[in-house]
Every structure is written in C-alpha cells, then in structure tokens.
Structure 1
C-alpha cells in the first residue's frame, strides 16, 4: 500500500516538473516579452514549488502515520483471528460435550415443565375457587347492604317513635308537675276547708252528735274490712276463673279457624289475585294503546290549530308590545319597591317552604317504609307490596288529613246558596194574560 502511494506521488511530481520546464521553454521561445515578467513568474513558480514540497512532506508524514496505524490494525486483526480460532475450537469442544448433557437437560426440562403445568393447574383451580368465593362474598355484601338499609329505616322509625315518646313523656311530666301543684293547692284548700268545717261543726253541732258520727264511721270501716273486702276478693277470683274457662272453651274454635278458615281464605285471595292479574295487564295495555291512538289522532289537529292561530298571535304581540313596554316602564319602580319591601318576607317564606318540603319527604318515606313492611309481613298482601302502590298509598294517607280539614273548613265558612223552587208562588201584581188562539 505504501509503495503504490509513493509511486503515485512520484508520477505527480514528474508531471508538475515537466509542466514547469515546458512553460520555461515557451518563455524562452517568446523572447519578445521582457525579462521582468520572467523573473516574476520564476518567483511565483519557486513559491509554488516550495508550497508543493511542504505539502508533499506533510502528505509523506501522514502516510507514515497511516502505515503505522495499518500495521497496528493488522496486528490487532491477527490477534482477533487467533482468539476467534480458539473460540471456535472451544465451541466445537462444548458442542461435543453439550450433545451428551443435552439429553439430561431435556429430561430435567420436561420434568420442570410438568411440575410447572401442575402448578399452573393448581393456580387456575385456586383462582376459580377464589372467584367463586368472591362472588359469594359480593352476594353476601349485597344482602348485608339491603339488611343495613332495612335496619336504617327501622332505626329511623324507632328514632321518630322515641322522639315522640320523649315529647309525650315531657308533656306528661309537665302535666304531672302541674297536677301535683294543683293537688298541693287542693290539699291546702281542703285542709283549710276542713278546719273551717270543724270549727263550724263544733260551733253548731253538739258534742254527743259528733261522737256518734265518729262511732258510725269507725263501725262502717270495720265492717268493710271484715265483710266487704273478702267478698270483693272472692268475686274477682270467680271472675278470673270464668275468664280462664271461657278461654279454654274458645281455644279449639280459634284453632279450627286458624287451621281451616284462614288457609282457605288465603287460597281464595291468591286465586283472585292470579285471575285478576292478566285482566289488569290487558287493561293497562289497552289503555296505553288508546292513549297513543288518541294522541296520534289529535296531534295533527293541534298542529293545524297552532299554525292557524300563530299569525293572529304574532299580530297581537306586535299590537300589544308598545302598551306592554309602557306598562312595564311605569310599573318597574313600584315593582322594585315591592321587591325591596318583601325581600325579608320572601326569604322567610322560602325557608319555611324548604323546611316543609324536607319534612314532607321525610314523613312520606317513613310512611312508605311502614306500609311496605306491613304489606310484606302479611301473606295476603305480599304480592301487592310494590313501589308504585306503596308510594300511592303513602301519598293518600298523607293527603287524607288535608282533605278532611279542607272539607271541615269549607263546611264551616262556605255557606250553601239556597236555590228557589221553580213552582214556588210569588206575589206578582202584574201577570201576563194567557193567549187565546182564535178558532179557525
């Protein structure tokens, strides 16, 4: 490589020198030009030659460094080739050894694969069991949530009952306090009155008569304790015995009613419900069909009426718009004053309305819960325990007192207009004379 590059550079130099000599010969042939120009050109050529020599020296140095690098790379390549040959020999030896151990490793691998497959099957079974357990736990959680909701409703009802009972107890305690105070006052009045009576009696009743009255009182008390009280106790015991005899006598009749009549009534009720169910469904379906048919028939007429009335309405709006605007401008300051005046009252009204709505919804839910429980607990009304029916019954129960109060108020405050009878005789002085038809 280095020899070829040196040859190329030598050829390049010979060509340059030949060019230079040719230029000198041409210059000698052209003797017409002055010597000054020749000197300048010679100086230029000398400078070019010096530059070329310096560049050639640099190129030779670079070539030497590259040759050294090439020698180093060749030595590295030889070392790498030696290592590759050694590695190939090692690979061949390892392949020869590996062919012997491959069978053992394959057997071990098969055993490990079988064990892993068994582990995978076990894991799949465990995952299936865990999924089943998870589904069961979710079902239990749903049941528990439902029970928690039921218990919460019961707790709410119990809390309301407890609050009502506490309020009643407070009222009774207050009433007892008032009654005790009244009793104390009555006792004081009675003592004062008895003292006054004793004083009056001592004043006008003689002593022997008072002693006789005391003797009569003591005689009556002793007779009551000796004769009256035991007779009363005996009568109570006889009454209790008669009650027990009546219960024994009526017990088999109650049993027969429970065992014979109640199941037959339940069966009849269930049959009645099952017979009425399809009729009710058919009636609902027919009513829905009639509603849709009537809607479809009436809708185009309504659209036509709207289309006919719309231009008149637009004209009426155009005609009344200036009057409405004038009325709005006139009444706006008064409306603003009224709003400012009524603002605190409107806030109170909205607050009371919100409280009323909250209380009504709370009581409605409680009534729904109680009705739903009552209907579910009874076997006869169990199929009727639906959300729609329970909601309707709760709203009806809450609306009953309002309707009753409205009826009472209307009966009290609104008087009925008396209708005059048609055949009642009125004393009119002027009456029309009867028309007499002339005979034809």
Structure 2
C-alpha cells in the first residue's frame, strides 16, 4: 500500500507538472499596455500630421489665390502702362507737329498783317506803324532767343523722361514677372 500511495503521489505530481507546463505563459501586462500606448501615440501623431497637411493645403490655396490676384493686378497695370505709353507716343510727335504748325501759322499771320499794314498804311498814323513794327520785331526776337530754346529744352526733357520711364518700367515689370514666375514654379513643384 505504501508503494501504491507513492505511485499515486508520483502520478499526481507528474500530472500537475504537465498541466502547469502545458498551459501557455501569459504575456506580461506592462508590455501589452505599452503596445497600446504606442498605438495610441501613433494614431494621435497621424491625426496631427493630417491636420498639418490640411493647414498646408489651405495655405497653398490661399497663396495660389493671392498669386492669381497679383497676376491680375500686374496685367491691369501693364495694360494701363501700355496705354499711357501709346498715348505719350501719339502725343509726342503731335506736340512737335503742333508747335511747328503754330509757328508757321504765326509767321503766315505776321505776313498777312504786314501786307495789311502796307495796304492800309495810310490809315494808321506813322508812329503807330513804327510802334507796331518795333513790337513785332521784339516779339520775334524774344521768341527766337527764349521761346524756341525753352520749347526745345522742354521737348528734350520730355523725351529724356520718357526714355527713363521706359527703362524704369521695364526693369520693374521684369522683376515682378520673374518673382511671380518663381513663385508659381515653387508652388507647382511643391504640388508634385
């Protein structure tokens, strides 16, 4: 009987050891919680990145809209500059032609008045004819000395200012155009 109790005791002990070793080992709880924490952190990081992407997309759209508005403004300004330039060019030769026409008309009028004075010389007193011819001489002399020079200088300065404006406007329009072109290229590059 003692042998059967020992045998029974050995059998129970061996069964208890096999039962203990046959069950899977439970995972430690802290590791499971750390994986869940890492997963939660990754999900929150993904949501933060998605919100940043949305913000950047909105910024890019607003910048695209600003670029379109600037392009429209530049287009309008260039149209107005072109119209002003064409108006200046149309007025410039016309102004020179008008001055020449006015001077030729004034000389023709002087000639007509001289003829009238000669024809109707007897109607005017001699002193008035002398005064008129003297006045006419002074007006023509003053015009030749001062008026013509002032007009020539004015026309020359207008032409210089026009050429300076052409140079200035060309530089600035090229600068603005190049800046906007670079910005558009950067935006297109970022999108792709």
TM-score, normalization: structure 2?
A: 0.48
Greater C-alpha radius of gyration: 1
TM-score, normalization: structure 1?
A: 0.22
